[in-house]
Amino acid sequence: MIRFSLILTASAALFTSVAVADDETISKVMKDGFKGDTSPIAKVLDGNASAEEIKSLAELIKSLHGTKAPLGEQAAYDTKIAELIEAMDAVAGGDKGEASIERLEKAQNCKACHTDHRPKK
C-alpha cells in the first residue's frame, strides 16, 4: 500500500511539473513571439523581419511541439500547433510568397487557439 501511494504521489508530481513546464513554454512563446504590434510574428507578416528574427521565431514556435493543451481537445490543439510550425517553417525556409504568408497569418490566429484552448482567467 505504501509503495502504491509513493508511485501515485510521484506520478502526480511528474504530471504537475509537465503541465507547469507546458504552461511556461506556451507563455514564453506567446510573450516573446506573438505579443504586440512589433512582435517577431508581426514583423514576419509585414515582411520586416530579418533572417535571424525569422529563424529565431521558427525555433521558438517549434518549442510548442508536444505541449499539452491547457484546455479543450488535445487532438485539435496538436493540429493547430502542427500547422503553425509547418507554416512558419515554410517562411523560414525561404518561401515568402503571398500564399505562404497568408498561410502563416491564418495559422497564427490568436483567437482561434485561445477560444478553444486558453483557460479563462
| Chain segment 36-90, per-residue pLDDT in tens | 999 999 999 999 999 999 999 999 999 999 999 999 999 999 999 999 999 999 9
**Using CB atoms within 10 A of its CB, is residue 62 exposed (0-12), middle (13-18) or buried (19+)?**
middle
Q: Which range of residues forms the domain containing residue 55? A: 2-117
Q: Nearest to residue 54, comparing CAs of 102, 117, 101, 106?
A: 101
Number of domains in the chain: 1
Higher pLDDT, 100 or 121: 100
How confident is the prediction for the chain on average, in pLDDT? 87
Residue 56 sits at the vertex; the CA angle it makes with 102 and 32, to the nearest 5 degrees, is 85
Contact of 80 with 63, CB cutoff 8 Å: no
Contact of 61 with 92, CB cutoff 8 Å: no
Distance CA 45, CA 37 (A): 11
Distance CA 23, CA 68 (A): 8
Distance CA 52, CA 56 (A): 6
pLDDT confidence tier of residue 121, bands split at 50, 70 and 90: confident
Residue with cell 528574427: 53
The total number of residues shown for the chain amounts to 121
